[in-house]
Chains A and B, each alone.
Chain A
Amino acid sequence: MLTAAKLDTLQAVELAEGVEIRLRVAGPMLRIGAYAIDLAIRGVVMTAASIGLAWSGMALGNRVAFGMLTLAGFLMEWFYPMVFEAGRRGATPGKRIVGLRVVQVTGSPLTLGQSLVRNLLRWVDGMPLFTYGFGMASCLATKRFQRLGDLAAGTVVIYERAPVLPRLAAPPPIAAVPLPVGLTADETRALVLFRERAGLWSVGRREEIANQASALSGASGAAGVSRLMAMAHWVQEKKHPADHDRKN
């Protein structure tokens, strides 16, 4: 996925199984949203805890209740994200609502240690003055939107599920036209993607893009579009002889 690595937020990772999976890395804007939700949740929990402890303070003694509140504040400050991210979902409630999760750069689930490192260093990312300036700078400077804690722990924040692509009514191909020349894998992929995404664009935009490949199609304008479509159709529908030997 050479083109994807350059242009896209997709990160290719090769597994031991010999297959390449693609992680969709999440950018800072969405993560700020998740953080805001988490902050609100923490605020609500702390308010509830103070009310609850204020009542139970009558039984426990005010100072014990106050001590418990201090402890709760400490735990919420440092351990709230840590515990949730090390858990089964790999995400704080805020991240879950927004649809994000934290994984290792290899795509496998977070270990407790990584969650710890990532969230202890949150304090540095939060500087200067809790603006998350350093974290933001690091996010924007790294290929995988990693804040400093992510870099040290070797983690990335990804979209939990791939967005469901709308099934677009791309113009149906008239015929399958063989490719006139051999293309590299990336070029072929671009051709196929052109066909798939054609439904997203206006007719004028389609032609504009197809004109970039007029050397391949040998035509421009509407004729070029339909010729590229036909070639993409040929690439996707051509018979693979190996299929008949493979038994499932």
Chain B
Amino acid sequence: MSVGDFEHKNQQRWAEYERLVDGLEKGRPGPEAGQLPRRFRELCVDLSLAEYRMYGERLTAQLNAQVIRGYELIYRNRRGGWEQVAEFVAVGFPQAVRREWRLFCLCNAVFWLPFLAVMISAGHDIQWVQAILGADGMASMDQMYGGKEDQIAHLRAEYGSNFMMFGHYIRNNVGIDFRIFAGGMAAGVGTLFFLFFNGLFMGAAAGYVNHACNPETFWTFVSGHAALELLGMVVAGMAGMRLGLALLRPGRLPRVRALSEAAKQALPLIIGAALLTTLAAAVEGFWSAQLLPSALKYGVGFAGWGLLLAYFTLAGRRAGHAP
């Protein structure tokens, strides 16, 4: 059978297929939409025949393009609904964190050890803290936490400033999470650097406040959102380290393959981290600066840590393994 015969014989079928695919791509499936799988398989056969018989580039390219269109329609993933989001929050995310408990310990250590070391060092020798914060850093800490307890609340007194800070915190903190994750591509070095650096800097800030400012102002402010924000950062670090470890120790897979497998495992972690940090930004924007009794704010802060750790350790245990 010559090219012309082949084309002539099948032209009508191909035209019908194309009409069907056109309609489906525009989101207007006709009554014959159910025929797509059958027509798609027929076209696949036509393509392999044309390839095998070497009917030429023009015809194979045309059939190839039509097969790809059908393939994309048939294998399009259905978008997840709200059940999937709820399932992720209740089961998928805490399970993913537990599965990576070693990385959880590692990332916590990389963040908390420099944090505590620098903070404690402030009591003995303030120079370390001064070196880390620099003159500007110290000045802004003085401005925010230097005096009376309600200083931050005064800064937020103007209408709408809570929302402004909320937007700022989201952009800044979720952006940091994403960079910590992406830093994993440098064999984990970027991730470790960001975690370590943040630990160092925040530890210095806390140490400086304890040393030179009014600690009450600072600790009442941060207590509300600290658990969400810092653990969000640690979880983003876990996601980054998952990528980095895949590059360092791919096991029996080729490195690129190991990387894409690791990205699948890291996905729930980085999504969860972004959710935690967004939540933290909401708390930081609308709750943390409120003028309320210190005891209440500390209480909420401790409850937050307790609840979050309970969520990581207990949630989704009964549900079996996440899909």
Q: Which residues of A contact B (CB under 8 A)?
A: 15, 17-23, 60-71, 73-74, 77-78, 88, 90, 103, 107-109, 111-113, 116-117, 120-124, 148, 151-154, 161-162, 165, 167, 188-189, 192-193, 196-197, 235-237, 239-240, 243, 248
The A interface, classified by DSSP as helix, strand, loop or mixed, is: helix
**A236 contacts B40, CB within 8 Å?**
no
Whether the Cβ atoms of B182 and A66 lie closer than 8 Å is no
Chain B: number of interface residues, binned into ranges: 35 or more
Please pick, from A68, A108, A189, the residue contacting B72 in the complex, using a CB distance under 8 A. A108
**Contact (Cβ within 8 A) A18 B168:** no
Contact A124 B171 (CB under 8 A): no
A-B pairs, top 6 by smallest CB distance, nearest first, are A63-B160, A67-B167, A70-B167, A61-B160, A67-B164, A74-B171
Do B44 and A22 touch (CB < 8 A)?
no
A153/B260 in contact, CB under 8 A: yes
Binding site for A on B (CB under 8 A): 1-3, 9-10, 13, 40-42, 44-45, 47-48, 51, 53-58, 61-62, 64-65, 67-68, 71-72, 75-77, 79-80, 158-161, 163-168, 170-171, 174-175, 178-179, 181-183, 185-186, 190, 243, 256, 259-260, 262-264, 266-267, 270-271
Judged by DSSP, the binding face of B is helix
Known: A70-B164, A153-B263. A192 touches B181 (CB 8 A): no
Residue of A whose beta carbon sits closest to that of B185: A124
Nearest CB in chain B: distance from A70 CB, A:
4
A-side contacts of B170, CB under 8 Å: 70-71, 74
Please give, as numbers and ranges, the residues of chain B lying within 8 Å of A122 by CB-CB distance. 182
Give the chain A neighbours of B266 by CB distance below 8 A: 117
A67: B residues at CB distance < 8 A: 160, 163-168
> Bound complex: CA of A237 vs CA of B1, how far in Å?
6
Q: Chain A residues with Cβ under 8 A from B71's Cβ?
A: 15, 21, 107-108
Min CB distance, B253 to chain A, in Å? 13
Chain B minimum-CB-distance residue to A123: B182
